[in-house]
Amino acid sequence: MSASLARGINVLKEVIDAPVASFFNSCVHCGICAESCLFYRETGDPKYTPIHKLEPLRRVYEQEYTLLGRIAKRLGLSQPVTEAELEEWQPLVYDSCTMCGRCTMVCPVGNDIAMMIRKLREGMSVAGYAPPDIRGAVKRTVEIGSPMGVKWSAVQAVIKHQEADLETKIPVDVEGVEYMVLLSSMEIMNYPEYLSALARIFRKAGITWTLSSEAFEATNAGIQIGTSDIARVIVSRIVNAAEKLKVKKVLSPECGHAYMAIRWEGPNLVGRPFNFEVVHVLELLDQLRRKGVLKMKSKFDTPVTVHDPCQIVRRGGVLEAPEPLVNTVASEVRLMTDHNKWNWCCGGGGGASAIHTEEAEALRTKAFMVKKRQIEETGVNTVVTFCANCRIVIEEAFDHYNMDTRLLGLTELLAEHLDDEDAAGEEAKS
C-alpha cells in the first residue's frame, strides 16, 4: 500500500461516524435512489446508482468497524480498497455526482447519501484521486484567492465599469455597514451585471453595504474537492474579513456551494459560531419584497419557467423565496413538473462543471436531457434561475442542443424592472 493510499484510508476511517454507520446498516438496497439520480436516469447504467458510488467507503466501514468484517479482513476473505479501485471510482464520485441531494430526499430510510459522498471525497482527495481540474481550482484558490484565478485587480475593473454605468460609487472595505457582499468568480467574469443589480437594489432600499478586498470570493473549492482543511482556510478568509469590517451580515451570492459552505458548513469548519449572520441574496430580496420595498415599474411580459438550484433550494433550505420573487417581476410563470425542492439538477454542481475531460463533459451533456425535457414540457423558451454555476452549465447545454431558449438571472431581472423612483425604503434600514 502506497503512502498516499494509506493516508486516504486513514481519512476514510476518521470520517466514518455514527450517522454513516447507521446509514450503511439501514440501507435496504431498494434502488429507489437510482431513479432520483439524473446520471442513472439518462444513461441507464447501474454504476451510477448513488449508493453504489459509496462502495469504497462502505468497504472501509465494514472492514474496520464491524465484527464480521474485521474477521473477514484478517482471514483474507475481504478485498481491501486499492488504488486501482479509487481510480475507477473517481469519475463516479466527482464526474457523476453533484451532491444535489435528490437521492437523499427519496431514500425511504432517510440516508443522507450526498453527505456520505462528501465524506468519501475527503479520503479520495487525500489519496490523490480527485480530478486534476478540481485540484487546479483548489491550488488557485489557496494561492490567488479564487478558483478561476480572479485577482482583486479584476474585481476593481468590474467595479469601475459598473460604477460608470450606475453613476454610483460601489463601496469597498467600509467598516460598520450592514452587509458584506460576496461574489463568485463566475459572476465576476461571466455575469458582472449582478454587481450593478445589487447596487441598484441596495440604493433603492437604503441598505449600507461593502465589498472586501481581502475576501470577495465566495466559491469554496475545498468543499468541492472534499478537503475540510482547505475548506476551513477559505471560509476563515471570509470570517476574518467580516469581523475586521465589523459587519452585521454576510450576503452569499447566487452560487449554490458557496452558500452551503459559508452558511451551513462554515461554523463547523472554523469551530465556533459566527458573530455575524449569513444571508442568501434571495432571502434578502424576499424580505424587501414582503416589506414593500421591491416594487416593479413594469413586468417581464414573456412567459418564464424557473430552474431551482439544488444547493440553494433543496440542500440550502431557501424554499419560500424563489417563486414569489419570480411572480413579482414576471407576468406569467409556468413551473416545471418537478420544481422547488424536487427539482432536477443542471448536472454541474459539486465541482462537476469544473471537470473538462471529454468523458465528463459528454456525461454532463447526456444528463442534461432530464432538464431539457422539463423545460420543453412547460412550453416556454425563457428560464429564470439564481445560481451563476447553473447558468453557465445550462447555457452550454442550450448551445449543445441548439435550444432556442433564453436564460436570465433573477437578481438582474428584478433590478432591470425595479421602480427606482419609489421611496428609499426606510423600513429596510430597520
For 161-220, the pLDDT digits (tens) are: 999 888 889 999 999 999 999 999 989 999 999 999 999 999 999 999 999 999 999 999
Chain centroid, CA 403 distance in Å: 25
Percent of the chain with pLDDT over 90: 90
Lowest mean pLDDT among 104-113, 132-141, 255-264, 305-314: 255-264
Question: What is the fold of 145-292+423-429?
Answer: Glutathione S-transferase Yfyf (Class Pi); Chain A, domain 2 (1.20.1050)
361 Cβ neighbours under 8 A, 6+ residues apart? 355
The confidence band for 99, taking pLDDT boundaries of 50, 70 and 90, is very high
Map residue 88 onto helix, strand or coil: helix
Q: Assess contact for 99 and 350: CB atoms under 8 A.
A: yes
Residues of CATH 1.10.1060 domain(s) within the chain?
A: 3-130
In this prediction, residue 379 has a pLDDT band, given cuts at 50, 70 and 90, of very high
Confidence (pLDDT) at 15:
94
**Structure confidence at residue 95 (pLDDT):** 96
pTM of the model: 0.92
Q: pLDDT class for 421, splitting at 50, 70, 90?
A: confident
User: 273 Cβ partners below 8 Å, 6+ apart?
Assistant: 267
- CA atoms lying within 13 Å on the CB side of residue 378: 23
In 3D space, the residue among 223, 206, 289, 218 whose CA is nearest the CA of residue 250 turns out to be 218
**Mean pLDDT rounded to a whole number for the chain:** 93
Q: What is the pLDDT of residue 150?
A: 92
What per-residue confidence (pLDDT) applies to 428? 42
pLDDT exceeds cutoff 50 at 430: no
pLDDT of residue 168: 84
Mean pLDDT, to the nearest integer, of 68-85? 90
CATH 1.20.1050 residue window(s) in the chain:
145-292+423-429
CB atoms within 10 A of CB 187: 27
Q: Where are the alpha helices (DSSP H) in 167-290?
A: 185-190, 193-205, 221-225, 228-245, 256-259, 266-270, 281-290
Instruction: Give the per-residue pLDDT at 77.
Output: 86
Give CATH for domain 3-130.
1.10.1060
Q: Where in the chain is the domain with CATH 3.40.50?
A: 305-416
Provide the grid cell at 384: 429564470
Q: Please work out, in degrees rounded to the nearest 5, the angle formed at the alpha carbon of residue 80 by the alpha carbons of 75 and 81.
A: 175
CATH fold of 305-416 reads: Rossmann fold (3.40.50)
pLDDT tens-digit series, residues 29-61: 999 999 999 999 999 999 999 999 999 999 999
